[in-house]
Amino acid sequence: MSTRRIRGMSGPATACADTVVMFRRAVRHTLRSRDTLLISLLLPVLIMLLFVYVFGGAIQVEGPYIDYVIPGIILLCTGFGASITATAVATDLRTGAVDRFRTLPIYRQALLAGHVGEGVARNMIAVALVLLVGVLLGFHPRASLLAWLGALAIIALFVHAITWIAVALGLLAQNPEAAGGFTYAIMFIPYISSAFVPTASMPTWLRGFADHQPATPVIDTLRDLFTGADAGSGASAVLWSVGLAAVGYVCAAVLFARRAR
């Protein structure tokens, strides 16, 4: 009889307990890599400073540019965080950690769920830091309490989706270096969106892509919520996030089953 059955744990309770253990393991690994942690937290802030003080004066938008650019910087946080998660998953495969965990009586998906939980938590801390520095630089959100809750929910949902995509990419890569390279596409997508300039300023052929990709509705929704406007793209942002999360989870589960044989 297993230890869990002696303690009366089975089913969902076992899955949750195992996931918490793997989450703590992922957090410890991140805290030990202080340089990686600092980069993931500070790089979005540095990019925000670059756009606000170097490029902001040349970009014409309605209202202060910092109010316009903050939602795009938030999405960039997810890209940087995804790179760290993908690399961590690939490292577990390369070092044999996955094979060792397979010999233990634990929930099969606990390792992946732990990486996702750590990635979401780390990204949300980076988002909070961006918002805090943004306020110090002159960001003036006019959102109500309900709008703030909605914005945080959209951010958490999108971060969760991108983190599952990152886990799938980490499982797909043959080594940690390749895993980090795969996530460049995630970091690149916000640049071809409404994150830093209005899509109306783009060429027609590029605007079509910018208006119909996941980042733009999420960014537009956050921008509307922060400014107190009606979030007309809210439904699209939620659908994109849920769809990406589902695709990422399914791909991760399939790849994990194949790589863990």
pLDDT tens, the chain, 261 aa long? 344 443 444 467 778 888 888 999 999 988 888 888 888 888 888 888 988 888 877 788 888 899 999 999 999 888 888 888 999 999 988 888 877 877 777 777 888 999 999 999 999 999 999 999 999 998 988 888 999 999 999 999 999 999 999 999 999 988 888 887 888 878 888 889 988 999 888 998 899 999 999 999 999 999 999 988 887 778 999 999 999 999 999 999 999 888 655
- Domain assignments of the chain as residue spans, ordered by start: 12-259
Report yes or no: 175 and 94 within 8 Å, Cβ to Cβ: yes
Alpha-carbon torsion (132, 134, 136, 141), positive or negative: negative
* Residue 172 CA: distances (Å) to CA of 88, 147, 163, 210: 13, 38, 14, 27
Q: Which residues of 120-141 are buried (b: 16+ CB within 10 A; e: fewer)?
A: bbbbbebbeebbebbeeeebeb
Per this entry, what is the length of the chain?
Answer: 261
Q: Residue 6's pLDDT is what?
A: 34
Report yes or no: 121 and 27 within 8 Å, Cβ to Cβ: yes
Q: Residue 9's pLDDT is what?
A: 44
Alpha-carbon torsion (183, 184, 187, 191), positive or negative: negative
Chain center to CA of 128 = 13
